[in-house]
């Protein structure tokens, strides 16, 4: 059991303030976004559409009032160059 100020910080009834998505280009075209630490995945044809799909996925995943205030998209790009 956690006591003192640590129980306040780690309380499970407090909503997270931020959720992070790893975003990469899809092999089939478009983009894929996968939440870190949550079972949330979505995809879209453009980055603009992906932002809306991510917002929608977060709203669907969390109960009203418990969703994070900030969604961070971390874009990952693999680039292969000749040696």
What pLDDT, in 10s, does the model give residues 2-51? Answer: 444 343 334 445 457 999 999 999 999 999 999 999 999 999 999 999 99
Q: Are 76 and 24 in contact (CB under 8 A)?
A: yes
Matching residue, tokens 């992906």: 50
If one counts every other C-beta atom within 10 angstroms of the C-beta of residue 42, the result is: 21
Per the model's pLDDT, the better-predicted residue between 73 and 77 turns out to be 73
Domain spans in the chain, listed from the N-terminal domain onward: 16-75
C-alpha to C-alpha distance for 60 and 75, rounded to whole angstroms: 22
The confidence score (pLDDT) of residue 32 equals: 97
Identify whether the C-beta of residue 58 lies closer than 8 Å to the C-beta of residue 71: yes
Residue 54: CB atoms within 10 A of its CB come to: 23
């Amino acid at each position: 059991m956690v006591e003192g100020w640590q129980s306040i910080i780690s309380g499970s009834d407090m909503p997270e303030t931020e959720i992070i998505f790893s975003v990469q280009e899809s092999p089939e075209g478009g983009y894929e976004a996968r939440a870190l630490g949550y079972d949330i995945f979505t995809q879209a044809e453009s980055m603009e559409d992906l932002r809306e799909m991510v917002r929608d996925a977060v709203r669907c995943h969390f109960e009203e009032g418990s969703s994070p205030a900030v969604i961070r998209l971390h874009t990952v790009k693999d680039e292969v160059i000749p040696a």
